[in-house]
Amino acid sequence: QFFVFCHGLLQLSQLLVSGYLKSSISTIERRYGLSSQTSGLLASFNEVTTSSPLSLLYLGSRVHRPRLIGCGALLVSLAGFLMALPHFITGPYEYDQSSCPLVTAGTSSNSTDLCQPGSPGAWANLSHASCTPHASRENHEVLLVMFVAQALLGIGGVPIQPFGISYIDDFASERNSPLYLGILFSVTVIGPGVAFMLGSAMLRFYVDIDKVSTAEVQLTNKDPRWVGAWWLGFLVAASLVALSALPYFFFPREMPKEVREVLHTHTQTHTHTPWCSPSFPVVLLRNLRHPVYLLVVLAQVNISAMVAGLATFMGKFLERQFSLTASLANMIIGAVNIPGAMVGIVVGGAILKRFQMSLRQCSALCVLGMLLCLLVAFPLLFLGCPTQKVAGVTYWDSAGFGHHDAGCNAQCRCPQKGFNPVCGSDGVEYTSPCSAGCSHVNIHTDSSILNYTRCSCISGPAGFARPGTCGTGCSHLFVPFVVLSCLAGILASTSHTPSFMLILRSIQPEDKSFAVGIQFMLLRVLAWMPGPVLYGSAIDTTCILWEQRCERRAACRYYDNTLFRHR
Residue 114 domain flag: no
Give the range with max mean pLDDT: 214-218, 545-549, 558-562. 214-218
Residue ending a domain, choose from 236, 254, 272:
254
Domain assignment of residue 399, given as a range = 389-470
Residue 81 domain flag: yes
Residue 104 domain flag: no
Q: What average pLDDT does this structure show over 268-282?
A: 53
206: which strand partners?
228
442 and 361 inside one domain: no
pLDDT-derived band at 540 (thresholds 50, 70, 90) equals: low
Q: What average pLDDT does this structure show over 328-348?
A: 85
In whole angstroms, give the CA distance from residue 557 to residue 254.
55
Burial class (CB in 10 A: 0-12, 13-18, 19+), 537: middle
Q: Which residue blocks in 90-159 are alpha helix, DSSP H?
A: 128-156
In whole angstroms, give the CA distance from residue 550 to residue 105.
27
> Which pLDDT does position 258 carry in this prediction?
65
499 and 465 inside one domain: no
285-298 pLDDT, tens digit per residue, is: 887 888 888 899 99
Assign residue 196 the CATH number of its domain. Answer: 1.20.1250.20
Give the range with max mean pLDDT: 265-274, 328-337, 530-539. 328-337
Residue 438 domain flag: yes
398 and 417 inside one domain: yes
405 and 322 inside one domain: no
423: which strand partners?
429, 466
Residue 275 domain flag: no
Question: Residue 354 above 50 pLDDT?
Answer: yes
Give, as one character, the DSSP assignment of residue 386. P
224 and 200 inside one domain: yes
What is the rounded average pLDDT for all residues in the chain? 76
Lowest mean pLDDT segment, chosen from 236-240, 403-407, 453-457: 403-407
Question: Residue 171 above 80 pLDDT?
Answer: no
Spell out the residues 6+ positions from residue 293 whose beta carbon is closer than 8 angstroms to its own.
Answer: 287, 503, 506, 507, 515, 519
> Which pLDDT does position 558 carry in this prediction?
47
Question: Residue 453 above 80 pLDDT?
Answer: yes
Cα angle: 11, vertex 89, 210; to 5 degrees: 80
357-368 pLDDT, tens digit per residue, is: 888 898 999 999
| CA-wise closest residue to 308 among 536, 115, 62, 80 | 536
- Label residues 291-319 b or e (16+ Cβ within 10 Å = b): eebeebbebbbebbbebbbbbbbbbbbbb
Burial class (CB in 10 A: 0-12, 13-18, 19+), 505: middle
Residue 127 domain flag: no
| CA-wise closest residue to 440 among 116, 109, 98, 220 | 116
91-147 pLDDT, tens digit per residue, is: 888 765 443 333 333 333 344 567 776 644 444 443 343 333 344 444 778 888 999
457 and 500 inside one domain: no
Question: Residue 537 above 70 pLDDT?
Answer: yes
Q: Which residue blocks in 24-127 are alpha helix, DSSP H?
A: 25-32, 36-44, 46-50, 54-59, 65-89
493 and 551 inside one domain: yes
Q: What average pLDDT does this structure show over 62-83?
A: 89
- Report the number of secondary-structure helices (H) and strands (E) in the chain: 22, 5
Q: What percent of the chain has a predicted confidence (pLDDT) above 90?
A: 11
Question: Residue 277 above 60 pLDDT?
Answer: no
* Contact by Cβ (8 Å): 512, 170: yes
* CB atoms near residue 472 (< 10 Å): 17
In whole angstroms, give the CA distance from residue 312 to residue 322.
17
Lowest mean pLDDT segment, chosen from 29-33, 111-115, 512-516, 542-546: 542-546
Domain count, the chain: 3
> Which pLDDT does position 311 carry in this prediction?
81
